[in-house]
A and B are shown apart, each in its own frame.
Chain A
Amino acid sequence: MFSFTGLWAKMNRKNDRPGTVQGAFDAIPIFLGYYTTSIAFGLLAINSGLSSFQAVLFSMTNLTGAAQFLAINLISAGSAMGEIVTSVAMLNMRYFMMSASLAKKLGLHSIFSKILVPAAVTDEVFSVISFREGKTGTDYIFGLQSVSWLGWVTGTITGVTAGNLLPKTLQQAVAIALFALFVALLVPEVKRSTLALVLALSSGALNSFLHYVFHIPPGWSIVISMTATAGIGGFFIHRMIPVKAGRRQE
């Protein structure tokens, strides 16, 4: 007979070879986070001039939180295509490093999995796989990624269809979700090392300076600020102290 508590216990047991169901189960917190955040995305996308189809297509094919918000921001500001694509790519440069780390950890051999697994490498998926102890197979990863993807896409659909049912002030308030997400990602880094706070503040200060004093378009000023600050910070850290600041260093 089906027993929910039995299933729960089974799901929570860290078995040697976790399968698709275990992966899907582990993705529940990601699903919730993505669903709520992408409602905001769907809503803002419509406000930025995207059609419902474009908003959902964006989430289905890109699956990238911050960069999608950045892109619709730039689209509504009337930025050039090259500026938008470059900003998105620069912002997502971290995926390259995450994939490099995952490729090393997983050692995939089949062409099928080498094509599919990279499609849904996100900050959260990467973290869950990286911090999971023991062997992690592609079955597990597909379960984790499918549910994460579903959360992002269904949330976007909810945002574009029911989002405008929300009161005007609530719609405005939801615009803060993006910044809240960034802050929530930054805080654990700051708790771990003051250096993260110094770097983030320096980068933010430089970006504010470029924005208010030189009126550089946001896409470019973000790219310049993040690269320059990391470049200068990396120089000092590389030369002086072997500090491990990145969350990938765990």
Chain B
Amino acid sequence: MNEITLIIIICAFANYALRATPFWIKSRDMEGTYTSKVLELMPITALGALILPGIFTTYPDAPMAGIAGLAAAAIVAWFRGGLILPVTASIAAAWMALNF
């Protein structure tokens, strides 16, 4: 089997295991524990690490495109919310920065 296909299948099992396990185990009460706090903060810290420095390494020749796209997404998300509109605005801003 192709190595990439194998990676995809292993990832599928890993993701399913993460999603399914809590439905089958008797959940211990974790409310208020240190572990629950850390897991709670993880989505936010993950986003930070995913955005920086990736936004600058995506366009090594045109860092302004990354910055413009980032700014457009943040502004639209702040005032309008949602996911579709910020993403579309961001693509438009990056495209303009790449072209002009």
Contacts and interface: CB of A to CB of B under 8 A. Distances in A.
Closest 8 CB pairs of A and B: A204-B52, A200-B48, A180-B90, A203-B48, A173-B95, A176-B69, A246-B40, A187-B77
Contacts of A235: 34
A50 B4 contact: yes
Contacts of A50: 4
A99 B20 contact: yes
Given A67-B11, A200-B47, A222-B46, A173 B91 contact: yes
A84 to B, nearest CB: 6
Given A173-B95, A203-B48, A179 B42 contact: no
Contact of A188 (B20, B34, B81, B95): B81
B91 A182 contact: no
A132 interface: no
B39 A93 contact: yes
A179 B5 contact: no
B46 A203 contact: yes
A233 B41 contact: yes
Contact of A57 (B5, B20, B48, B89): B5
Interface of B: 2-12, 14-16, 18-24, 27, 34, 37-55, 57-59, 65-66, 69-70, 72-74, 76-78, 81-84, 86-95, 98-99
B44 A246 contact: yes
A93 B34 contact: no
Contact of B42 (A36, A94, A221): A94
B4 A75 contact: yes
B78 A37 contact: no
Interface string A54-85: 10011001111011001100010000010011
Contacts of B11: 58, 62, 67, 71, 84-85, 88
Contacts of B6: 81
Contacts of A104: 27
Please report whether the interface of chain A is mostly helix, strand, loop or mixed according to DSSP: helix
A55 to B, nearest CB: 9
Contacts of A94: 39, 42-43, 46
A192 B90 CA distance: 22
A5 interface: no
A233 B48 CA distance: 13
A91 interface: yes
17 contacts: A36-B87, A66-B50, A75-B4, A96-B19, A97-B39, A119-B16, A169-B99, A173-B92, A174-B91, A176-B58, A178-B50, A180-B87, A186-B44, A186-B48, A187-B74, A204-B48, A229-B49
Contact of A208 (B4, B53, B98): B53
A222 B50 contact: yes
